[in-house]
Amino acid sequence: MIDIIYARLSDQHFMTALLAAVAAAATILTLVMPLLETDTLGKRMKQVSSERERIRAREREKLAKGSSKPNLRPEAKPFMSRVVEGFNASKWLGTEGAKLKLAMAGYRGQGAEVTFLFFRLVAPVGFFVFALFYVFVVWDPDIAFAFKGGICLAAAYAGIKAPEIFLSNATGKRQKSIRSAFPDTLDLLLICVESGMSLEHAGRKVASEIGVQSVPMAEEMTLTMAEMSYLPDRRVAFENFAKRTGLELVRSLSTVLIQSEKYGTPLGAALRVLSQEGRDSRMMEAEKKAASLPPKLTVPMILFFLPVLFVIIGTPAAIQIMNATK
């Protein structure tokens, strides 16, 4: 049995066919999954709206049981904490930039940092060991040793970059959602402020309303309003809001709020201008994507559409020529 598996894995034609089958299955799954997805937004919004009550109930239960250390943030797995503390990974792998990236991706607390450090420590070793096993045990033994070593080093480098790539993708999705909901957020905030609400009350109201469109935006607004309530300087809450999102539009909003807080400048006119700028930016982004579509379609058309078109047009003519020469 082992010999059969080894022979299959060593067969280049079998591996090529297997990878092609996996790629075809992934393509079909990618096309079919959006059609099968259910509307989970309602469920997520119910969870967001009831999160405060669940936290209160959980903390009241802990206090009733005599717990003196309520925990409002999820913690990392115990074995992850032991590995990170054993190798002292927080000293030579943890950086302020990594903490900021975690916050921008929506992962907060000590548990998220420990998990990130664990995977940053384990992923290069895991990738290297897997590549080492496959290259020296399964693959063709006649290949040069230097080439195999280069593949193993490349796998280890991919393991180093894998957690960062994951955070980058999560940050991009989160920023896209915030950028899309930003103009509507400013419109709602403008309506609430001009109706006479305080900034804290307006922010909480906007956070509860904008969650239908963007859950990350609602989370950031709620966290900012909470920081405004307990931080000694409200300016720090606005600056943290800009740092957690990493968007220029949000940074402009933070600057406007800081100036309004410090100098007493009118907030309504500035919010109206920022809202229009956000809509213009969103329209320019859509126009940019539309303009880049024809060059992106050129290569697929050359590789996939034109050969099929030539076959459809040329096959009848070739058949007629072959019949005429007989």
Mean pLDDT per 10-residue section of the chain, whose length is 326 residues: 67 76 80 65 59 59 49 54 58 64 79 78 85 79 78 87 86 87 85 83 85 84 84 85 85 84 77 80 83 84 83 86 80
pLDDT at 70: 37
Domain ranges, residue 3 = 1-35
- Residue 72 domain flag: no
- Residue 219 domain flag: yes
Rounded CA-CA distance 89/137 in Å is: 31
Q: How many CB atoms lie within 10 A of CB 324?
A: 7
Show the tokens assigned to 122.
């384990």
- Residue 195 domain flag: yes
Say whether pTM exceeds 0.85: no
- Residue 228 domain flag: yes
- Residue 271 domain flag: yes
- Residue 158 domain flag: no
Alpha-carbon Rg of the chain, whole angstroms?
Answer: 28
Q: How many CB atoms lie within 10 A of CB 243?
A: 14
Angle made by CA atoms 273, 279, 284, in degrees to the nearest 5: 125
Residue 69 per-residue DSSP state: S
Residue 303 per-residue DSSP state: I
pLDDT at 162: 86
How many domains does the chain divide into? 2
- Residue 268 domain flag: yes
Residue with tokens 């920081």: 227
pLDDT at 69: 41
- Residue 116 domain flag: no
